[in-house]
Structure 1
């Protein structure tokens, strides 16, 4: 398709916890991805209200995303559509020694002139990288065990 530019990115970290603990942290964080809700409405996301099974499974919806695949505790795939983009956010959890490697994969396209402008504002400005890294860091904080202080 002419004029359609694809964006791909991966943000990753290692978390000192087993995949099951990190999976719970991913689910908790995904539940709040579509906030603020005014933004989800403003960009005309296909999915604007939480619905479907909980804990998240294929068919669940969080604002801005629909869960298209869930394979606990290894992979969660979220798809979304709004007026400027079609996108997928995939969380992969891979056992890594005594912990878990968490990867957040983004794959998006930005059709048309408005899509190109949105890409400039959100992707080329690095805002998306900052936002995705922030999500990964929040998952890491939720997933790591609390260490007792002495």
Structure 2
């Protein structure tokens, strides 16, 4: 993955082993829960290390970005799911876009909701 500026990281402990948490991650994040190579719109797969890491990246006129999920075992039936966000927002339009998406708190709400849905699916 090309190194982009760090934005933030959110994490949630899930009551499931890492394999179940991985399946829940794919169910929530990917278009096809059986195929991590079918990411959501706006993203392409950067790398997959089943069942511990899914790295997505994307770009559009106002930014280049990455969303990386890492799953860490916390015990036999507990997994920490972390979502790291990275992004670059060049130029005036990028600054405005960053303010609307990141600084507004909208990004934080979306990522935390995604982690909540992963925990529920596990």
TM-score by length of 2: 0.89
Shift of the alpha carbon at 1:90?
0.3
Structure-1 residue corresponding to 2:103: 124
> For 1:73 and 1:17, how far apart are their aligned partners in 2?
13
Deviations 1:20-70 (A, max 9, x none): 0010111111125xxxxxxxxxxxxxxxxx9xxx5114xx44311001111
| Structure 1 spans left out of the alignment, 5+ residues | 33-49, 144-150
Structure-1 residue corresponding to 2:35: 55
Based on CA coordinates, which of the two structures has the bigger radius of gyration?
A: 1
> For 1:113 and 1:122, how far apart are their aligned partners in 2?
14
Pairing of 1:56-71 with structure 2 (within 5 A): 56-57=36-37, 60-71=38-49
Q: Report which of the two has the higher share of strand.
A: 2
Deviations 1:79-108 (A, max 9, x none): 010111100100000000230000000001
Task: Tell me if the contact between 2:6 and 2:86 (Cα under 8 Å) persists in the aligned partners.
Answer: yes
Task: Tell me if the contact between 1:74 and 1:94 (Cα under 8 Å) persists in the aligned partners.
Answer: yes
Task: Tell me if the contact between 1:6 and 1:110 (Cα under 8 Å) persists in the aligned partners.
Answer: no
Task: Tell me if the contact between 2:29 and 2:39 (Cα under 8 Å) persists in the aligned partners.
Answer: no
Pairing of 1:1-150 with structure 2 (within 5 A): 6-31=5-30, 55-57=35-37, 60-97=38-75, 98-143=77-122
Extract structure 1 runs of 4+ deviating beyond 6 A.
none
Residues 9 and 22 of structure 1: CA distance in aligned 2, closer, same or farther (over 3 Å)? same
| Structure 2 spans left out of the alignment, 5+ residues | none
Residues 7 and 125 of structure 1: CA distance in aligned 2, closer, same or farther (over 3 Å)? farther
